[in-house]
Structure 1
């Protein structure tokens, strides 16, 4: 009897493990019925379709079953062109469903339903399609390494209907928007997502365990799709744009631009994206700042071609796409002026080829060509002009091989290359990158090794350098940690197609954190982080960085957010970059310091919400401290109209930094005060889910006044300098206003209208009155006005092929009888 009971117990436990380890499965059926995407579900195909239900909570109470009064029921059918999803989202308080209208890909304050599809069922990449209760679409690509990328846009159809029992969603996702193997029987990874926004609750059909980082490996299974063919994925998007430019001292001039984007599916896995004569004139303006540091300011990429579907090219962090078409720094004499300096170097064309084989090998090629560019330089004393070449014809290339395996790991080989015409430098960088995870996604070993080679094509020697990174960490559970190290040689240089601020260093770090996975009596979620980092200069062994940081993030029961942190630098360190001394081991001592901040952000579900973020930094040096705050109220007048105002103030007292070299090659520093004001206003009015007006205004004013001139000494200290008298005060006054109208008049087709005015003023002599500076920005002779209209039209080869117009030309004609 005991033996039988033991066997029964073992059998029961084994059966339980097998049952609970199996993934959820839903089966679909094919249909010959025409399905109209209207949110009514009245076609016969929906009646017998299998239902996917029993959702579980992702956040805040991970694993809790979905309540019956807010249950979700999903059905799937398919035909020869697309899959169709019908979701019924019950809600016991339908009048409280949030449904803010907004731009595409902006989730805003609204309930959402989504479907997450992995056509290869390999746990690696998902195509995600969401629609809000207002009917606004969001779509993106998910990978574990890059999370969600919403720059990817697909062509699909959806309709929502808010009812007296909740709301309904009907979706049509063409096969051209997906990737799957050419097999008779398909087995796809699939999951469904629901957000009840007013409660800040998120649910999924197949449970997403927050203890596990990779979401794609936790998807369910879609079965039943058979005998479908991967369609011809050929999309042509021609565009035409008209620009009008004017300023206070320039008459209005016009410019017409036209071009084309092409997307072609080479096979079921690989896609070619190409742009011919690109137009990026309506991209968002850059948030330029007064940069007094030794490093360049890094800007976000706003050009769609370089943001969409670039997760493969981001491996190893070797690519900074703003280098492509970037206007180089132009050096001219003090008595010379550049006439009509371009804002960027024109891009002639660009293409991407990317995809992944059935065996998990990802292959990516990105190539772009920029034109040869010269400017006219005028001598202010003589009036003579000369032509100066600032950028040669250049080719930029990225090549990536990324082998994924075991559904959660990868090894990648990346190469970037820049080849310039003539006697200009060429550059080549290669990297081996690995991201290895245990089968249960509990531990991670990641890292990379990079090698750079720069051919200067001048009398300077070629540069060869290496950099490396290694990380080991626990990635699951309440407690997580990681340890690792970094290294960069003196001559490592990937700045021709990447961005890198520091070289000649090595460092070590330890990170640890704790997080709640389910709510407690006080918080819906809570996280605490503790990390330390120490860095040394390779050449001298001096400490470049040594910090110990502690910070907390939490959401309370009302879903208000609180953040608090202390960043301490308890050691005096040496800064080898601020002296700007090329080839010399000059450094400046940075005194120990501590920075603390507090962040409070109220629940955006409320019509009125605020963000408040004060900070202060105190140095172990008399009178040297930084402080400031961000205050940003927002008000949602209704589901269509909202405004967000932001005000940022920062002050640096007795900041010390480089300003110049004198005639004796001494390094000149200054003790200075710096004050910055940033005012922003964002407004949105949505006519419906395809028409939007957006306003984006920014006034930036920052100035630094030097009150003590210093000479840097060899030991990193500085002494007073009474002989240097050049005015090196700085004042940057910027104004930007964009008012846009966009209308998605057909799938993938858009009309966009932009009015922009902007000005930029830099000076050494200036008023310190805010009113005077904003008046200068608005009334400056540099205030430019731009008005533009752009039309893009999406043409799908499959639609054209099946049209009567196409068939009338391609079908063979019968001979007429006489």
Structure 2
């Protein structure tokens, strides 16, 4: 610990030495206004990047940009100017980006939303709500970037892909760009004159400098709330958007042939089609529809292993669910906990299958989405609205034995998902209140049942086969509802926000009992007096929420404090994401920002945090302290360092249904640093080191990220990562000893190696080739098996008792335990050693042949295997990936977007 403090002190002292005091009084910045004019009878500009049409003379240039980063409120290296025109269908923008040395303009190509090289962007707060906006970016190389801005600039969603048009040109003065944005792609209310928030932001690449039209001080409480204004939009009619996008997909799969398995004959061909549509009900609100959606070109999820038993969160990548996701977002506690987690829709089938020896199973990988509709948007008077409805198909697994006898098992029922979300702004957009409601309904009574009392049952089964209903573990229905609010004051520098959530799930006795026993709840814990398993219950009702307040702008200091809770009976995982319940957490943090650059750094900050947790029985489970700092040097290299201390660590979940467990006190330290990311070659190197008293456990993570762009059209990244995770008390299993539960842990030596590889080749801004690949290897070896003696003892030796050689023996991959040494085996433990090896890759050619219409050529490859835990990692890589026949998917997808 003393070395961690020393490292941090050496890091922080130079910052304080060179830091300059920022202004203590509030900064008052005058709002700028740009007044546009209509084209009327003038001919619309041709979008070719050359600002020479006479129609541009209808309006004046506006300039006087001011530097925003790194040295705020100083003149930029080179000036920028722009002008805006409009007609009844389009908004036109022209830019002139001056550059004293045009030969050095960086024209790096990238895929859409790559934001490489020099660029300029316009941000439009068309709702004028001072929280949300639309962003359109154009690079000097002609690559588009478009994002939806929310949370006053804290969230930029690049999944939004509207149709718009642009072109650029480089000349002796610098570079120019023209942009044409259909008003149908924007949302705004109906009024005589529109007043929109406006900002134009330029990146001057070689100096890594940002300059803006409307000055935004570094201590401002947000981004959108500080915009200037666009005036002069008179009598523009809201555009009722109507887009229809049919698609067709052909897919050919190859995979290793399995002898005797009728479902794995080595290849499979599929032909599919569907339809997406976007209908503007009003200019504010849009109805999105999808029928038989296909997500075949979506990048594979990264490989991961969770020995703690908890579910793993994966981000949403499907376009239908990603667009406007900010409206449906309802994070109510911390981390990824969310009332709506769209990956529940179309999830892997959940039903179990009683597979017998000699049987082969054809199980669907995902649940078919029959259709989905999403109604969302924001009105001029401050209402954010979202309604989502989706129906997924009943999924059936086919089972066949060696003699050709077949049967079926329902592994996912017909299910309806519903989400409704609303928020209302008021108090001059400084306050909002909102709510959410979700419902999941499953049809669990749709099995084809065989009457066991019918004498013809056996004959019928032989002729028609049987269909089993294996859905007793699923809940029949699940509902949740919540309220949220936020209030800002003193020019949005201070805020308070909070939310409440309640859930109610219903199902059979078996389903609700299983819910009580899930790791999320653990009602069966023997030492818990406030929860218990009730096998007769058919419903559960729980609550959660948070209250937070703090300072978000003004001066150098930022701070936050609050509390959140999740009651033991809260259950959201039918349509949300909830990792753990039975927790109350208090937290507080403070940050100091160094706002003025010096000879040492461009920007820097220091952050301190503390939190403590309790369960609903009143047990004091955890306290943690952390201090970290970040500095971006004048040469654009950077360093991030921090350390933390956990003097108290209790958990109700480690023994997976067993009693409360204590870990030894823990310390951690991390250090990351990287080079200038503008360079053709740049890197990041990092290390995380965690250690506990008595060597209870440790965690070491080594990270290297390498990025190389040998020429403008090609970029390569390689991100290897190696993790060591030894633990003397890794949970293994629960067994029975003389009628009492016995919890077994062991010393695990776990090593994990992964490397993500990305290559992007851009033939032009609309034609790209992208490759992603990731080998993943993890192996764990268990030794020194022990049983839990006193799970909350401070001393590790009292917490567990290690079996001696007379108590434990190993044969035929099974550990036999004679705990009382009477010569008779008391219980056995299957060998938990493991080696998991996986390789996934995607090669995608994407051609946007006209704006909004695309063709994808995709080659996906995957290998998954279980290696020998006795091998080292690279031998597993060779044996289980390089020497194995992979599964391949070849896919062609074509879309055409009709804009009506």
**TM-score, length basis structure 2:** 0.83
Instruction: Work out whether residues 704 and 730 of structure 1, in 8 Å CA contact, stay in contact via their aligned partners in 2.
Output: yes
Aligned counterpart, 1:793: 896
Corresponding residue for 2:613? 535
**Matched residue, 1:554:** 631
Q: Could you tell me which residue of structure 2 aligns to residue 372 of structure 1? A: 394
Corresponding residue of 1:117: 124
Q: Distance in 1 between matches of 2:544 and 2:28?
A: 45
Match of 1:519 among 572, 590, 597: 597
Equivalent in the alignment of 1:167: 175
CA distance in 2, matches of 1:114, 1:514: 29
Shift in alpha-carbon separation, 1:575–1:20, aligned structure 2, 3 A: closer
User: 1:311/1:419 Cα in 2 relative to 1: closer, same or farther (>3 Å)?
Assistant: same
The 1-side partners of 2:853 and 2:879 are apart by: 40
Find 1:687's aligned residue among 752, 759, 763. 763
Structure 2 residue runs without a partner (length 5+): 1-24, 258-264, 332-337, 446-474, 510-535, 793-798, 809-816, 818-827
Aligned pair 1:567/2:574, yes or no? no
Question: Which residue in the other structure is 2:580 paired with?
Answer: 502
Per-residue deviation at 1:330? Answer: 4.8
Partner of 2:516: none
| Partner residue in 1 for 2:570 | 492
Residue 774 of structure 1, CA deviation: 3.2
Moved more, 223-232 or 592-601: 223-232
Measure the CA separation in 1 of the matches of 2:34 and 2:135: 18
Per the alignment, do residues 132 and 443 of structure 1 end up closer, same or farther by CA in structure 2, a change over 3 Å counting? same
Equivalent position of 2:752 in the other structure: 676
Gaps of 5+ in 1: 1-16, 798-818
**Correspondence 1:358 to 2:387:** no
Quick one: structure 1 residues 789 and 63, their matched pair in 2 at CA, closer, same or farther if it must change by over 3 Å?
same
Q: CA deviation at 1:135?
A: 0.5
C-alpha separation in 1, matches of 2:559 and 2:434: 24
TM-score, structure 1 normalization:
0.91
Corresponding residue of 1:84: 92
Question: Does residue 471 of the first structure (1) align with residue 548 of the second (2)?
Answer: yes
Contact 1:217 1:408 in 2 (8 A): no
Say if 2:774 is the partner of 1:698: yes
Cα-to-partner distance string for 1:183-223 (whole Å, 9 max, x where unaligned): 22222221111111221111211112231232112111111
Indicate the RMSD between aligned Cα atoms, in angstroms: 2.1
SS of the counterpart of 2:764? coil
Deviates more, 1:715-724 or 1:234-243: 715-724
Name the counterpart of 1:651. 724
Q: Distance in 1 between matches of 2:695 and 2:209?
A: 50
Which position in structure 2 is the counterpart of 1:303? 318
* 1:639 aligned residue (701, 712, 715): 712
- Matches of 1:587 and 1:221, distance apart in 2: 58
**Could you tell me how far apart the structure 2 residues matched to 1:685 and 1:780 are?**
29
Alignment match, 1:230: 238
Other-structure match for 2:823? none
Aligned counterparts, 1:49-448, within 5 A: 49-67=59-77, 70-108=78-116, 110-144=117-151, 147-249=155-257, 250-316=265-331, 317-332=338-353, 339-377=361-399, 386-405=407-426, 406-422=428-444, 424-448=475-499
Moved more, 193-202 or 765-774: 765-774
Report if the CA contact (8 A) 1:727-1:764 is conserved. no
Residue of structure 2 equivalent to 1:762: 866
Counterpart for residue 558 of structure 2: 480
Instruction: Tell me, in whole angstroms, the C-alpha distance in 2 between the residues paired with 1:396 and 1:774.
Output: 44
Partner of 1:453: 504
Shift of 1:655: 4.7
Counterparts of 1:150 and 1:177, CA distance in 2: 15
Cα displacement string for residues 407-449 of structure 1 (whole angstroms, at most 9, x for unaligned residues): 2332110111111112542111111111211141111101111
Write out per-residue CA displacement over residues 733-775 of structure 1, whole angstroms, 9 at most, x where no aligned residue: 0001211111111010111111111011136766335134333
Tell me the secondary structure at the aligned position of residue 141 of structure 1.
Answer: strand
Q: Secondary structure at the match of 1:776?
A: helix
Does residue 576 in structure 1 map to residue 591 in structure 2?
no
Name the CA distance, whole Å, in 1 between partners of 2:894 and 2:113. Answer: 20
Q: In structure 1, how many angstroms separate the alpha carbons of the residues matched to 2:223 and 2:316?
A: 26
Report matched runs for 1:589-608 at 5 Å.
589-608=662-681
SS in 2 for 1:606: coil
Deviation of the 1:509 alpha carbon: 1.1
Per-residue CA deviation, residues 587-643 of structure 1 (Å, 9 max, x unaligned), is 221111111111011111111111101121111023732213011222110101121
Deviation at 1:720, TM superposition (A): 2.6
- Contact persistence 1:37–1:157 (CA under 8 A): yes
1:795 Cα offset (Å): 0.7
Tell me the matched-pair count.
771
